[in-house]
Amino acid sequence: MIVCFDIGGTAIKGAIAYAPDDIRPFPRKPTPATDFDAFVTTMSDIITEAGARPDCIALSICGIIDPDTNLAVVANIPCIHGRPLKADLEKALGLPVLIANDADCFVLAESAIGAGRGHRVVFGAILGTGVGGGLVIDGHLINRDGGFAGEWGHGPVAATEAGTPPSKLPRFQCGCGQKGCIDATCSARGIEKLHLHLNKLTASSEDIVSAWEQGDAAASHTISVFLDVISAPLALVVNITGTTIIPVGGGLSNAPKLISAIDDAVRSRILRRFSRPLVVPAQCTIEPGLIGAAILGLSLSRDKTNL
């Protein structure tokens, strides 16, 4: 048995996990974002609720563990940002601790019990407020020791001309400090910026996608540009990693027609030919962070048992 956590900026979700499909959540608790002692106490209280000593604890975090320094990069939770989080929690809680990025936990969940079951290489893509991703090969995270692998949303690679007919595009400023990132152009907010730039219209990403589905000309042009911009770097990810399935999570994954259109565009640009969908909606739509963290912790527990 392990205890797993999904640590967000506003809430901490905890659960007991006996298997990837046997996860028993506790009520969520507010995240003590600025007080590390209170943060530890909240986790400790949840562990106590488990009623027995777990083999380990596993965390999904909305950030990264820097593989060079082992420090946590979690901007929206100041009390753990910049800390050697694994070492500090192991000392405070007296248990082995595993930590993974939330996108990595998402793809772990999809690989084990979601759309990626049966696939050796699974790349999970997040399309929502931001654009992120993670990579699992043979059931193991590439980022098992932390790191930035899978972050295809960042890097100055967005096209400056796209769509049918072609439109000139600016290199939008990204929150990571660069310009021209896929995150800045193809996230939900990115679609809104594209729509404003192309059509001088302000609308939510949900309304833009809905209007496109209904044949609206302005929205159709925006989505044409979006598909052109997003499909090229995602096709490159496929060629580089050899992934045979791309489960998609995040808010934009709730539009099946959009995911199908991304799939068509990506499959037309890759070297390998698939006669089935490659880019598909995620199946683990409820608590993928907890599921992924559980899989991470249960793997360690199983490995120790097999020694």
pLDDT over 50 (residue 175): yes
**Would you state the pLDDT for residue 122?**
98
Q: What is the residue type of 207?
A: D
For the chain, the average pLDDT equals: 93
Instruction: Please give the domain boundaries of the chain with CATH numbers for all domains.
Output: 2-105+286-305 (3.30.420.40), 117-281 (3.30.420.40)
pLDDT in tens, 39-93: 999 999 999 999 899 999 999 998 999 999 999 999 889 999 999 999 999 999 9
**Would you state the pLDDT for residue 75?**
87
Q: What is the residue type of 189?
A: R
pLDDT over 70 (residue 303): no
**Would you state the pLDDT for residue 307?**
44
**Would you state the pLDDT for residue 305?**
55
Residues 6+ apart with CB under 8 A from 195: 201, 202, 203, 208, 218, 219, 222
pLDDT in tens, 139-172: 999 988 888 899 999 999 999 999 988 999 999 9
Say if CB 285 and CB 115 are below 8 A apart.
no
**Would you state the pLDDT for residue 301?**
63
CA gap 258, 255 in Å, rounded: 5
**Would you state the pLDDT for residue 302?**
67
pLDDT in tens, 288-300: 999 999 999 998 7
Looking at the chain, the whole-number percentage of residues with pLDDT higher than 90 is 86
pLDDT over 60 (residue 306): no
Confidence of residue 7 (pLDDT cuts 50, 70, 90): very high
Q: Which of 245, 290, 248, 247 is nearest to 20 (CA)?
A: 290
Angle at 228 between CA 288 and CA 269, to 5 degrees: 85
203 or 19: whose pLDDT is higher?
Answer: 203
Looking at the chain, the whole-number percentage of residues with pLDDT higher than 70 is 98
